[in-house]
């Protein structure tokens, strides 16, 4: 069906402001008489802490230093409330916020940060998620380090593997990476009557509003989020970073407060992509039909849960790749360690598993002496297919078209190359 | 020596929060006192193009141009909750909410016009070019501004709510319908591997992307460009230098991401297969455009030099070691 506006290349409505530099990002905001906030962060991976702010408070120009004692509800988190706004007893990773200094200039705030003494009483850390799953591993929180186990069961893999002509078995590993968005976190908060207003780039302003109101123990309607231009996000602006710090400071002091993270601070402040260890066993019959797949996937969520449950669930559901496999067994786990915390990032668990399932497909094709594209066409989802979770794909499944389109173009390109 | 090879990656991606969790988007559309259209929706423009495509959908329903609509998404005190700008869900979920809100406004304006024009029914009444008129006798018309004036102080506002359908999976078997809809991506690349330096260059790339229906093809191409670069960085470049919980590479001088020079011209193929539950058939593509890149590169490297890299990133050190080990093994097996 032809539409008048849908389907047409309309210029971005926010494009002109962005390319001419007129768009306002949080860092661009200034207010008369505003104060500057700076965050003191943990430099140890796992330790009990004692914090002394007395000397820092004496510095001329320091307005207030906030610690866990100043926050009504000292917790937040997208799913589990396992983050503390300011660490009270222990730190669980490098970069955990401990205190927030508010001063009349940024320089004074920096000086005060250095004048705060933190005694670290270090405890054993664990960085390898496999080690963290062991019974005697140091606990990151007051519960098991294994915070989630997703199970997918379909058919009977033991019997099915016996019927396979070819089987490939491998371990794959993906790394922890950053979103590398262009604009480091920044924000400005101020009072508007008895409402606290926080201007910060975020992916979900209404959720930030809820988290701030919970932490400050004030009604939601007393919190307003202004979401100016966002300089990239990719999942890295789902978890709170500076929003509660700014809201608390403004709420208590009554004056506007601004914070800008450096690139280095940004790297430790927001989440990362979950690294995964993926053990795969996949088998097919002599005709090149996939019969069975078994996968065991361990995801390292670092010191905090963030979206780990949803991500490891998504990894488990997408572990087969877009293929019909009648017998499937998947176990995926989310595990705490003392690494930087992992959370949402473009792909969200469905970005890691293709590293495994797609190489498995090519290896099986090679063993079967079938070309990898034909092997995929023999097994891929089409209209009416049932996924490993039992979901029926009723419409909009143009996977064969996608594969054929790439085959056509790639072959013609490969031929071009040979001619060169 | 430089060796070339080709490989593909084939993936699917389920949209939304999933697993039966209520995934709700709300939108409000207003006919202002001046007769202008204002959309209020808490959906963040993170650079993906949400403001543009949501405005396009509204313009299509209301028969106006994109310039005639203002979309407000930046203030929680005046916008309804439209969920997070994540899970590739804004086009599908919030798009549906916007479309419903605008259809409701259109129906309200038609009702008012029918009354105002003394028509017997809404049959043949069209909304276009900021007026409501009878198509068989276009002089029977009332402008948006006139409708707004009839409302007085209280402006005409309508709401649209969309709740996606998924089910919670069984805890023991994982059976259920956790996501809907699914988006498919197949990306193919040609790589050139330098067997002496371990450097990998992408010489060609073909990206076939299912989109349901393209609301704005250029913006989809932009997403494919960005997603490809991110997938390439994931496969080859990006390394936090994480050691005992510490990030050693914490700035862009040592945390390397691809530049425009690392990304080849992409052959982008938009595949349309409209989804009936989606607004105009459009599915989310923000994440699907990223996930097929790295596996295609890995398979192409094998095709080029015969080694399987099972751990990313494929740093030159890792690749050179794999090539060396592979050579040794073949020598021992008497294959060379």
**A67/A200 same-domain check:** yes
The CA distance from A191 to A208, in Å, is 17
Question: Are B116 and B133 contacting, i.e. CB atoms less than 8 angstroms apart?
Answer: no
Q: Alpha helices of A71-225 — where are they, by DSSP H?
A: 106-115, 129-132, 157-162, 205-216
- Residue B68 in contact with residue B36, Cβ under 8 Å? yes
- Residue A127 · residue A140 · CB < 8 Å: no
pLDDT at A1: 72
Q: Can you tell me the distance from the alpha carbon of A314 to that of A275, in angstroms, rounded to the nearest whole number? A: 14
Range of the domain at A149: 129-177+272-416
For chain B, residues with pLDDT lower than 70 are: 335-336
pLDDT in tens, A159-177: 999 999 999 999 999 999 9
Within-domain flag for A2: no
In the predicted model, what is the mean pLDDT of residues A53-67? Answer: 98
**Mutation for testing the B interface, residue in A185, A351, A367, A384 having most B CBs under 10 Å:** A351
pLDDT at position A413 over 70? no
CB contact under 8 A, B244 and A45: yes
Residues A302, A335, single domain; the answer is yes
Question: Domain spans of chain B?
Answer: 2-14+179-332, 24-163
- Domain termination residue (choose one: A226, A247, A269): A269
Give the Cα separation of A345 and A271 in Å (integer).
8
Cα–Cα distance for residue pair A97/A104, rounded to 1 Å? 21
Between CA B201 and CA A108 the distance in angstroms is 48
d(Cα B17, Cα A218) in Å, to the nearest integer?
28
Distance CA B48, CA B88 (A): 10
Last residue of a domain, one of A228, A246, A269: A269
Q: Which residues of A touch B23 (CB under 8 A)?
A: none
Cα separation, B102 vs B100, in Å, equals 5
What is the distance in angstroms between the Cα of A51 and the nearest Cα belonging to chain B? 22
Judgement on whether residues A293 and A402 belong to the same structural domain of the protein: yes
Chain B residue closest to A417 (CA)?
A: B4
Is residue A94 included in any domain, yes or no?
yes
Beta-carbon neighbour count of residue B333 at 10 Å?
8
Whether the CB of A210 is below 8 Å from some CB of chain B: the reply is no
Q: Tell me if A7 is assigned to some domain.
A: no
From residue A314, give the alpha-carbon distance in Å to each of A112, A144, B82: 44, 22, 22
Domain co-membership, A110 together with A134 = no
pLDDT surpasses 90 at A414: no
User: How many separate domains does chain A show?
Assistant: 2
Q: List all residues of chain B from 141 to 160 with a beta carbon under 8 Å from chain A.
A: none
Q: Write out chain B residues lying below 8 Å of A125, CB-based.
A: 244-245
Smallest Cα distance from A59 to chain B, Å? 30
Asked whether the beta carbons of residue B274 and residue A177 sit closer than 8 angstroms, the reply is no
Q: Is the peptide bond before B181 cis (omega within 30 degrees of 0)?
A: yes
Q: Three-state SS string across chain B, please?
A: CEEEEEEEEEEEEECCCCCCCCCEEEEEEEECCCCCEEEECCCCCCCCCHHHHHHHHHHHHHCCCHHHEEEECCECCCCCCCCCCCCCCHHHHHHHHHHHHHHHHHHHHHHHHHHHHCCCCCCCEEEECCEEEECCEEEEEEEHHHHHHHHCCCCEEEEEEEECCCCCCCCCCCCCCCCCCEEEEEEEEEEEEECCCCCEEEEEEEEEEEEECCCCHHHHHHHHHHHHHHHHHHHHHCCCCEECCEECCCCCCCCCCCCHHHCCCEEEEEEECCCCCCHHHCCCCCCHHHHCHHHHHHHHHHHHHCCCCCECCCCHHHHHHHHHHHHHHHHHCCCC
Q: Does residue A148 sit within a domain? A: yes
Tell me whether residue A10 is in a domain: no
Nearest to A317 by CA among A286, A345, A295, A346: A295
Using CA coordinates, name the residue in chain B closest to A329: B173
pLDDT at position B329 is: 85
Question: Which of B93, B94, B85, B97 shows the shortest CA–CA distance to B286?
Answer: B85
Selected from 3.50.50.60, 2.40.170.20, 3.30.365.10, 4.10.220.20, the CATH number assigned to the domain covering B24-163 reads 3.30.365.10
Q: What is the mean pLDDT of chain A?
A: 97
Q: Max CA-CA distance within chain B?
A: 93
- Residue A312 and residue A189 in one domain: no
Q: Does domain B2-14+179-332 have CATH number 3.30.365.10?
A: yes
Q: Hey, are the CB atoms on A351 and B184 less than 8 Å from each other?
A: no
Residues 50-69 of chain A whose Cβ lies under 8 A from any Cβ of chain B: none
| pLDDT at residue A420, rounded to an integer | 34
Is there a domain that residue A136 lies in? yes
| Partner-chain contact A409 B206, CB within 8 Å | yes
Count CB pairs under 8 A between chains A and B: 369
C-alpha distances in angstroms, B170 versus A319, B174, B175? Answer: 17, 5, 5
Q: Which of A243, A269, A295 is the last residue of a domain?
A: A269
Q: What would the pLDDT profile of B305-326 be if each residue is shown by its tens digit?
A: 999 999 999 999 999 999 999 9
Cross-chain residue pair B46–A237, CB shorter than 8 Å: yes
Sequence-distant (6+) residues with CB within 8 A of B128 are B63
A23 lies in the same domain as A112? yes
B311–A contact, CB cutoff 8 A: yes
Residue A417 confidence class, pLDDT cut points 50, 70, 90: very low
Question: Is residue B292 within 8 angstroms of chain A, CB to CB?
Answer: yes
Say whether B287 is catalytic: yes
B52 vs A contacts (CB less than 8 Å): 10-14
Q: Which of A5, A224, A227 has its CB closest to that of B56?
A: A5
A343–chain B Cβ distance below 8 A for any pair: no
The CATH number assigned to the domain holding A34 equals: 3.90.1170.50
**What pLDDT shows up at residue A419?**
35
Please report the DSSP string for A262-298 in residue order. -HHHHHHHS-BPPPEEEEEEEEE-TTS-EEEEEEEEE
pLDDT at A130 over 90: yes
Distance CA A234, CA A347 (A): 9
Phi, psi for residue A109 in degrees, rounded to 5 = -60, -40
CB nearest A359 (choices: B186, B286, B298)? B298
Nearest residue of A to residue B167, measured between CA atoms: A391
What's the CA gap between A129 and A146, in Å, rounded? Answer: 9
State whether A328 and A189 are in the same domain. Answer: no
**How many angstroms separate the CA atoms of B181 and A393, rounded?**
9
Q: Order of strands, edge to edge, in the sheet holding A166-173? A: A146-154, A327-336, A290-302, A276-284, A166-173
SS3 content of chain A, % helix, strand, coil (to 5): 30, 25, 45
Q: Running DSSP on this structure, what letter comes out for residue A222?
A: G
Q: Report how far residue B317's alpha carbon sits from residue B243's, in angstroms, rounded to the nearest whole number.
A: 17
Predicted confidence (pLDDT) at residue A54 exceeds the cutoff of 50: yes
State yes or no: pLDDT of A181 exceeds 90. Answer: yes
Residues 6+ apart with CB under 8 A from A387: A317, A320, A381, A393
* Positive or negative torsion for Cα B101, B102, B107, B108: positive
Scored b (16 or more CB within 10 A) or e, B231-258 reads bbbbbbbbbbebeebbbebbeeeebbbb
The pLDDT of residue A418: 41
Which residue in the set A376, A396, A410 is minimally distant from B273, CB to CB?
A396
Q: What separation in angstroms does the CA of B132 have from each of A6, B16, B31, B61, B135?
A: 21, 36, 13, 13, 9
Which of B6, B255, B291 lies nearest to residue A180, judging by beta carbons? B255
In this prediction, residues A319-331 reach a mean pLDDT of 98
Write down the pLDDT at residue A411.
Answer: 79
**Angle subtended at Cα B83 by Cα A92 and Cα A148, rounded to the nearest 5 degrees:** 40
Q: Which of A279, A273, A276, A274 is nearest to A359 (CA)?
A: A279
DSSP strand pairing (A223-226 vs B156-163): unpaired
Report the residue count for chain A: 420
Per-residue burial over B146-176, b = 16 or more CB atoms within 10 Å of its CB, e = otherwise: ebbeebeeeebbbebebebebbebeeeebbb
Residue A200 has pLDDT above 80, yes or no: yes
> Contacts of residue B295 in chain A, CB cutoff 8 Å?
354-355, 357-359
Residue B307: per-residue pLDDT: 97
Question: From the candidates B34, B154, B287, B332, which is the catalytic residue?
Answer: B287
Q: Do residues A360 and A340 share a domain?
A: yes
| Same domain, yes or no: A250 and A329 | no
pLDDT for the residue numbered A2: 86
Same domain, A159 and A249: no
Is the fold of B2-14+179-332 the same as that of B24-163?
yes
Q: What is the pLDDT of residues A259-312, one digit of tens each?
A: 999 999 999 999 999 999 999 999 999 999 999 999 999 999 999 999 999 999
> Are both A193 and A135 inside the same structural domain?
no
Residue B159's Cβ-side half-sphere holds a number of Cα atoms within 13 Å equal to 9
From the list B188, B244, B312, the residue facing A406 with the nearest CB is B188
Judge whether A349 and A298 are in contact, CB under 8 Å. no
Domain-located, residue A227: yes
Residue A380 is part of a domain; what is its CATH number?
3.30.365.10
Q: Are residues A331 and A279 in the same domain?
A: yes
C-alpha span between B336 and B334 (Å, rounded): 6
């Amino acid at each position: 069906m032809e539409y008048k506006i849908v389907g047409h290349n309309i210029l971005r409505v926010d494009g002109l402001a962005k390319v001419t530099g007129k768009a306002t990002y949080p860092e661009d905001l200034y207010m008369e008489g505003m104060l500057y906030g700076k965050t003191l962060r943990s430099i140890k991976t796992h330790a009990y802490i004692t914090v002394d702010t007395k000397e820092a408070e004496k510095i001329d120009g320091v307005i207030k230093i906030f610690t866990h004692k100043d926050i009504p509800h000292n917790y937040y988190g997208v799913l589990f409330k396992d983050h503390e706004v300011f660490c009270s007893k222990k730190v669980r990773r490098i970069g955990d916020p401990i205190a927030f200094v508010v001063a009349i200039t940024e320089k004074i705030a920096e000086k005060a940060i250095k004048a705060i003494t933190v005694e670290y009483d270090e405890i054993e850390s664990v960085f390898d998620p496999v080690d963290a799953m062991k019974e005697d591993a140091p606990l990151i929180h007051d519960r098991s380090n294994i915070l989630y186990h997703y199970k997918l069961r379909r058919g009977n893999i033991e019997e099915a593997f016996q019927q396979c002509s070819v089987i490939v078995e491998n371990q794959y590993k993906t790394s922890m990476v950053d979103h590398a968005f262009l604009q480091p976190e920044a924000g400005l908060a101020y009072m508007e009557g008895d409402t606290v207003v926080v201007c910060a780039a975020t992916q979900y302003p209404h959720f930030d509003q809820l988290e701030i109101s919970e932490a400050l123990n004030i009604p939601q309607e007393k919190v307003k989020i202004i979401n100016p231009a966002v300089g990239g996000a990719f999942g890295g602006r789902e978890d709170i970073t500076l929003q509660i710090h700014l809201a608390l400071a403004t709420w208590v002091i009554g004056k506007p407060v601004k914070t800008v993270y450096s690139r280095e601070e940004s790297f430790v402040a927001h989440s990362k992509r979950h690294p995964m260890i993926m053990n795969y066993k996949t088998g097919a019959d002599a005709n090149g039909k996939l019969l069975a797949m078994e996968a065991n996937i361990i995801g390292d969520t670092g010191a905090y849960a963030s979206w780990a449950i949803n991500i490891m669930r998504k990894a488990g559901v997408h572990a087969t790749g877009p293929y019909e496999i009648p017998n499937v067994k998947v176990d995926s786990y989310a595990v705490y360690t003392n690494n930087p915390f992992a959370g949402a990032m473009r792909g969200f668990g469905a970005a890691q598993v293709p590293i495994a399932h797609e190489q498995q497909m090519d290896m099986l094709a090679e063993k079967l002496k079938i070309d990898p594209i034909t092997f995929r066409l023999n097994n891929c989802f089409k209209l009416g297919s049932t996924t490993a979770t039992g979901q029926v794909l009723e419409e909009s499944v143009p996977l064969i078209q996608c594969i054929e389109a790439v085959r056509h173009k790639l072959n013609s390109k490969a031929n071009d190359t040979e001619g060169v | 020596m430089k060796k070339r090879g080709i490989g593909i990656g084939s993936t699917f991606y389920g949209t939304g929060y999933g697993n039966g969790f209520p995934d709700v988007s709300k939108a409000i559309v207003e006919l202002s006192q001046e007769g202008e259209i204002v959309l209020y929706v808490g959906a963040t423009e993170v650079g993906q193009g949400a403001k543009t495509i949501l405005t396009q959908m509204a313009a299509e329903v209301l028969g106006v141009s994109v310039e005639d609509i203002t979309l407000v998404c930046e203030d929680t005190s005046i916008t309804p909750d439209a969920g997070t700008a994540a899970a590739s869900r804004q086009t599908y979920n919030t798009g549906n909410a916007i479309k419903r809100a605008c259809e409701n406004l259109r129906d309200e304006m038609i009702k008012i016009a029918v009354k105002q024009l003394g028509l017997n029914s809404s049959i043949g009444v069209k909304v276009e070019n900021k007026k409501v008129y009878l198509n068989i006798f276009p002089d029977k018309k009332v402008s948006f501004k006139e409708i707004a004036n009839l409302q007085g102080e209280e402006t005409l506002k309508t709401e649209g709510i969309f709740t996606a359908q998924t089910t919670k999976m069984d805890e023991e078997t994982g059976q259920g319908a956790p996501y809907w809809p699914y988006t498919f991506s197949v990306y193919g690349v040609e790589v050139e591997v330098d067997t002496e330096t371990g450097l990998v260059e992408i010489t060609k790339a073909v990206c076939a992307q299912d989109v349901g229906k393209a609301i704005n093809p250029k913006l989809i191409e932009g997403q494919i460009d960005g997603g490809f670069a991110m997938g390439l960085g994931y496969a080859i470049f990006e390394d936090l230098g994480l050691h005992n919980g510490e990030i050693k590479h914490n700035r862009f001088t040592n945390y390397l991401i691809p530049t425009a020079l690392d990304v080849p011209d992409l052959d982008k193929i938009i595949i349309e297969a409209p989804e009936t539950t989606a607004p105009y058939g459009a599915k989310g593509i923000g994440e699907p455009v990223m996930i097929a890149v790295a596996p295609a590169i890995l398979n192409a490297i094998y095709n080029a030099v015969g080694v399987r890299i099972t751990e990313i990133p494929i740093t030159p050190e890792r690749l050179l070691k794999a090539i060396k080990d592979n050579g040794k093994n073949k020598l021992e097996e008497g294959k060379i």
